[in-house]
Amino acid sequence: MAVRIQAADFDAGAEIAALRRGNPKVGAVASFVGVCRDANDGAAVSRMTLEHYPGMTEKAIGAIVAQAKERWGVIDALVIHRVGELKPADQIVLVAVTGAHRGEVFAACEFIMDYLKTRAPFWKKEQTPQGSRWVEARVSDDEAAGRWAGKSKDAA
């Protein structure tokens, strides 16, 4: 289980290969890559700055990953989240999960991402033609995270 917050870009393929390397118990790998879009809420976005809370961010993601591991019994997980200046088409976040079977890794990967969006202290500021603005939290993200609350392991 690893959590990395960094300004530098990452090689998703190499990270995923390293995550499962040498472990023949792994039968499934699921991953998600979040990317910076060139538009949001009706405005063109030319640049984005990601701020975080050093210390708490790592802890919060670590707790989310630990919860996913316990709930789905996955083998390993990796979260890399970039901070600082980003531009459209840049990678923002990687979540990769390994396990024995696809069901648990799909679920764990989505759970980690949904919880990260609502619980890990990051904030995005976008540069648009009208100036810069802080991105507002979305109700749909809260709903996405909320749907995991009542779900049993079997239903996931």
The separation between CA 115 and the C-alpha centre of its own chain, rounded to angstroms, equals: 8
State yes or no: residue 68 binds another protein (CB under 8 A). no
Q: Which is nearer to another protein, 17 or 137 (CB)?
A: 137
| Closest C-alpha to 68, from 112, 19, 31, 119 | 112
Site membership for another protein, residue 116 (CB under 8 A)? yes
Residue 134 within binding range of another protein, rule CB under 8 A: yes
Q: Which residues pair with 2 in a beta bridge?
A: 78
Tokens of 105: 């890794």
Where in 24-63 is the site for another protein (CB under 8 A)?
34, 50-53, 55-56, 59-60
Per DSSP, the three-state class of 18 is helix
For helices 102-119 and 139-146, angle between their N-to-C axes, nearest 10 degrees: 140
Q: Which is nearer to another protein, 65 or 75 (CB)?
A: 65
Q: According to CB under 8 A, which one of 2, 135, 148, 156 is a site residue for another protein? A: 135
Q: Give the residue, chosen from 123, 143, 147, 153, that forms a contact with another protein under the rule CB under 8 A.
A: 123
